Structure 1
């Protein structure tokens, strides 16, 4: 989620970075809980439905305490519907990537989102993209190749393809948000994304859902609540600091995912994953810095 937020209060970079970091931790918890729920027999439709449904009260409470419930009046319902379809597709692919891949590898490939954002900005928005940013794109994709340990077998597994597709869809969402934020309040964007997704996801949950034990229901509740809190923190961070300041916090997610992965018995990431993550992170941060120099918002989700 991203938006240009104009606020009369002074910038508080430390607060913005802290909120972004908390949001990243919540996102990490959400995906690890989603992976664990899948291992306990939860269908992806159920995971997505409870992710959205349980986030609604959290989001509404946030809106009520900030801009007021009247701010959810919609101006461009068609654009919100498009954002919902693309956003839910990206969310589903992200959850699946954490199910199909070791968590640290999934989050590392997810770091390629700013790289796809650069490509889409150049091809769709026709933004000027110089040799520096294209060089960063190449370094980022080199990082993906490193994570796959060439020579260790098949270069791209289904999980890797899903993770790359997830990063691409998230970059598409960032472009949609960039346009929506020109006329819509951030709270409005978050609310309608969540609300519009409930009918189709609810139907899927009815068709593929089932009974669960208390621990599994607790995991689904954790997915929804942590996801809602993450949306609030990631968006709220931008009220106090620009994207270029808070974006580096996103890359700490590999540390949180690695630690949470240890808790569910995934083991410590291999050296190739850390090297690839370093290359992709450097690429993303360099793209963000170049965007900052040229006065554009780097893609942020």
Structure 2
């Protein structure tokens, strides 16, 4: 699994990412219900991560493939786990403070943050089109957030935008790890490195739970694990700029779940800002696709 180029399957990657968007939308419903029931955010994160380690260990042992969990890149896994834990905390926190549709829309700024990261950290040249898309996307954020007189809590908006930034950084890390590591190995080490930190906080945050709360936590753990695997697998078989387009489908599910479960629909400001943010993401994805094609032609000598 060390040759990433040989594993590129664009259509499979798009379908997997589409499934990930649906599954993770369900997970966010469980997050919101769990925290609203009285479970702390830190404990919610712990129970989200806990099932991953024993389930994957059992699965690999049953298939006599425990060796797959071995890795020579534990430092990279540890770094991914720290950013992943921070991103999950911000993402879950935003979901508890914002309606589902608004939290999901702010997450769409991941593509915008990816451009900013590539320019500032990777020192990649960014042209007028992508900088224009960045400006368009942040204009959409301002339209939705309406600073000073909005239904969107400023703290929730800040957490959602910070979560999107972290997701952009995490996507780069996963893409790098995917060159040498199978998807389930990446998922396993994320949980293995983050669980001890969360477990250390449990004596201070854990409270007795009802059967209803335990059922919500079980659902959260299941859909979280499935979504994380699908998300990682998509990045194994396709480029970040290509598969991230499928994330926009999650707005459909967030709107439906927000109405069915929480009796909330997006406001007019949200609907006005969504096309700007989605449009910016599509421009960036299209431009990244064109640049990838250009790089491929150069590599084959055309």
Question: Structure 1 length normalisation: TM-score?
Answer: 0.87
Checking the alignment, whether the CA contact within 8 Å between 2:141 and 2:273 is kept in structure 1 is yes
Quote how far apart the aligned CAs of 1:4 are. 8.2
Q: 1:243 offset after TM fit, Å?
A: 4.6
Does the C-alpha gap of structure 1 residues 90 and 238 become closer, same or farther in structure 2, counting only changes over 3 Å?
Answer: closer
Which SS does the other structure have where 1:294 is aligned? helix
| Distance 1:243-1:58 versus aligned 2 partners, 3 A rule | farther
Contact 2:3 2:180 in 1 (8 A): no
1:164 matched residue in structure 2 = 161
Q: Which residue of 2 aligns with 1:246?
A: 243
Any residues of structure 2 matched to 1:186-205 within 5 Å, and which?
A: 186-205=183-202
Cα contact 1:23–1:234 (8 A) shared by 2:
yes
- Once residues 26 and 148 of structure 1 are traced to their aligned partners in structure 2, the CA distance between those partners, rounded to angstroms, is 26
Aligned mates of 2:265, 2:10 — CA distance in 1? 35
- In structure 1, what is the equivalent of residue 34 of structure 2? 37
Distance 1:90 1:74, change over 3 A: same
| In the alignment, structure 1 residue 263 sits paired with structure 2 residue 252 | no
Deviation string 1:240-293 (CA, Å, 9 cap, x unpaired) is: 555555332210111101111112224211122122122111111211111111
Displacement after TM superposition at 1:167 (Å): 1.1
Does the 8 Å CA contact 1:5/1:238 hold for their aligned counterparts? Answer: no
Describe the shift of the 1:168–1:92 C-alpha distance in structure 2 as closer, same or farther (beyond 3 A): same
Give the length in aligned residue pairs. Answer: 292
Which of 208, 219, 223 is 1:222 aligned to? 219
2:218 and 2:20 map into 1 onto residues whose CA distance is 17
Q: 1:233: which partner in 2?
A: 230
Could you tell me which residue of structure 2 aligns to residue 299 of structure 1? none
Distance in 2 between the 1:131 and 1:7 partners?
Answer: 33
Q: CA RMSD in A?
A: 2.7
Aligned 8 A contact 1:58 1:229 in 2? no
* Matches of 2:289 and 2:18, distance apart in 1: 20
Residues 58-117 of structure 1, C-alpha deviations (whole Å, 9 max, x = no match): 545676799933121121222211111111001000000001111111111111011111
Deviation of the 1:30 alpha carbon:
1.0
Mapped to 2, the partners of 1:65 and 1:251 lie a distance apart of 37
- Normalization by structure 2: what TM-score? 0.87
Q: Does structure 1 residue 146 correspond to structure 2 residue 148?
A: no
Higher helix share: 2
What residue number does 2:178 align with?
181
How far apart, in 2, do the equivalents of 1:279 and 1:59 lie?
Answer: 40
Give yes or no for the alignment of 1:120 onto 2:155.
Answer: no
Partners of 1:75 and 1:184 within 8 A in 2 = no
Tell me the distance in 2 between the aligned counterparts of 1:23 and 1:180. 19
Match of 2:292, SS state, is coil
Larger Rg: 2
Q: Which residue of structure 2 aligns with residue 95 of structure 1?
A: 92
TM-superposed CA distance for 1:229, in Å, is 0.6
Mapped contact 2:242–2:285 kept (Cα < 8 A): no
Aligned partners of 1:62 and 1:80: how far apart in 2?
20
Q: How far did 1:157 drift?
A: 0.9
Distance 1:20 1:71, change over 3 A: same
- What are the Cα deviations for residues 205-252 of structure 1, in whole angstroms up to 9, with x where unaligned? 232011111111111111111011112222333555555553322101
- What displacement does 1:7 show? 4.5
